[in-house]
């Protein structure tokens, strides 16, 4: 009898141990499958608490922590949303704006961020490809004939070239607000216009121009080019000459240092004043000021007689 009692007691112990092992294993598996997160909850009064939870839905997390929203309270993210690691559940007053930004317009009226966002128009970008003409240059060549009067003669007609420009253009309210050049490609090179210049020989005529364009002061031929006040021509856009005057078409020329400022020059029958200098204006070259870059290109290169006006 005693042996049977001992045996049954022993069996009960073994069964208890087995049940304990099974129970602990189940709890372990459940714990592994349920990931515990630290979630921060910020209350309306500014108090912040950290809650341990296996839930990821905002409403479930609040219920677990016995937090009930009042009628004048709101929660961010909303009750139906799922919380993400690192996010904070914020409870605030519905009537209070979390971010209040004000700005003063030119009229001195304060504008809230909501009004700014309501009136804000998004900026759109487009890539636009355009083709533009390239002006041809006009080159004049002095006649080598010995007749007293040689009429201007076009030896070669000029032709405009074509270049393709790619722009990035920004629009707001369907109006262009910014244009940036991305690339330029010459599709067709321009063709020079070549003109034979007049040569009139009088009693006060100057020496016959030499084909090289080299000459000396007192009536020889100079290489005459043109420039304007743009950055391409001058590297600046002020229009102020090296002499301190404002460049004027029909008057201002850039000449080498051998011509003092204020010197009057007769260039091809027109009177100009030396008011400017230039790094490329050396030797027997003079630059005549014109009103635009296209006019400078149209002028091209000419060889004209130059003399000092006393």
Residues 283-295 have pLDDT tens digits of 889 999 998 888 8
Is residue 222 within 8 Å of 304, Cβ to Cβ?
Answer: yes
Indicate if the pLDDT at residue 264 is higher than 90: yes
- The DSSP secondary structure of 203-250, one letter per residue, reads TT--PPPPTT----TTT-EEEEEEE-SSHHHHS--S-B-TTSSBP-TT
- Give the model's pLDDT for residue 73: 86
| Bridge-based pairing state of the strands 149-150 and 199-200 | antiparallel
**76, 78, 69, 73: which is closest to 93 by C-alpha?**
73
What number is the average pLDDT over the span 21-29? 56
**277, 237, 279, 231: which is closest to 254 by C-alpha?**
277
Q: Is 146 left (phi over 0), alpha (psi -120 to 50) or beta?
A: alpha
For the stretch 64-96, what's the b/e string if a residue is b when 16 or more beta carbons lie within 10 angstroms of its beta carbon?
eeebeeeeeebbeeeeeeebeeeeebbbbeeee
**108, 54, 48: which is closest to 83 by C-alpha?**
54
Name the superfamily (CATH) of residues 206-308.
Answer: RlpA-like domain (2.40.40.10)
Element (H, E) at 38: strand 37-42
pLDDT tens digits for range 56-69 = 888 888 888 888 88
Report which of residues 206 and 64 the model is more confident about. Answer: 64
Q: What is the DSSP letter of 276?
A: E
CATH code 1.20.120 for 37-93: no
Indicate if the pLDDT at residue 200 is higher than 80: no
Of all residues in the chain, the percent with pLDDT exceeding 70 is 69
d(CA 118, CA 112): 10
Q: What residues contact 54, with CB distance under 8 A and at least 6 apart?
A: 34, 35, 36, 37
Residue 77: is the preceding peptide bond cis (ω within 30°)? Answer: yes
Domain residue extents for the chain:
37-93, 206-308
pLDDT tens digits for range 126-146 = 898 988 888 777 777 766 655
């Amino acid at each position: 009898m005693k042996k049977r009692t001992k045996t049954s007691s022993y069996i009960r112990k073994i069964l208890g141990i087995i049940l304990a092992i099974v129970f602990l294993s189940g709890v372990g598996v459940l714990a592994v499958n349920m990931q515990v997160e630290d979630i921060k909850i910020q209350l309306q009064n500014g108090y912040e608490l950290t809650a341990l939870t296996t839930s990821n839905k905002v409403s479930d997390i609040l219920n677990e922590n016995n937090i009930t929203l009042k009628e004048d309270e709101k929660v961010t993210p909303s009750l139906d949303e799922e919380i993400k690691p690192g996010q904070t559940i914020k409870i605030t007053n519905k009537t209070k704006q979390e971010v209040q930004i004000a700005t003063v317009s030119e009229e001195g009226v304060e504008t809230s961020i909501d009004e700014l966002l309501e009136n804000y128009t998004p900026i759109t970008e487009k890539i636009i490809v355009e083709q533009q003409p390239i002006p041809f240059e006009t080159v004049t060549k002095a006649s080598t004939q010995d007749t007293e009067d040689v009429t201007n003669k076009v030896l070669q007609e000029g032709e405009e070239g074509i270049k393709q420009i790619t722009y990035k253009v920004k629009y707001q309210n369907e109006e262009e607000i910014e244009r940036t050049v991305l690339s330029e490609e010459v599709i067709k090179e321009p063709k020079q216009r070549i003109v034979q210049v007049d040569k009139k020989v009088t009693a006060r005529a100057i020496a016959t121009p030499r084909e090289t364009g080299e000459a000396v002061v007192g009536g020889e031929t100079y290489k005459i080019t043109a420039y304007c006040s743009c950055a391409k021509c001058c590297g600046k856009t002020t229009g102020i000459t090296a002499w301190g005057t404002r460049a004027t078409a029909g008057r201002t020329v850039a000449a080498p240092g051998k011509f003092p400022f204020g010197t009057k020059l007769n260039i091809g029958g027109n009177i100009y004043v030396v008011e400017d200098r230039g790094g490329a204006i050396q030797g027997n070259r003079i630059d005549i000021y014109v009103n635009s870059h296209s006019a400078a290109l149209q002028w091209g290169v000419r060889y004209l007689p130059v003399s000092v006006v006393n």
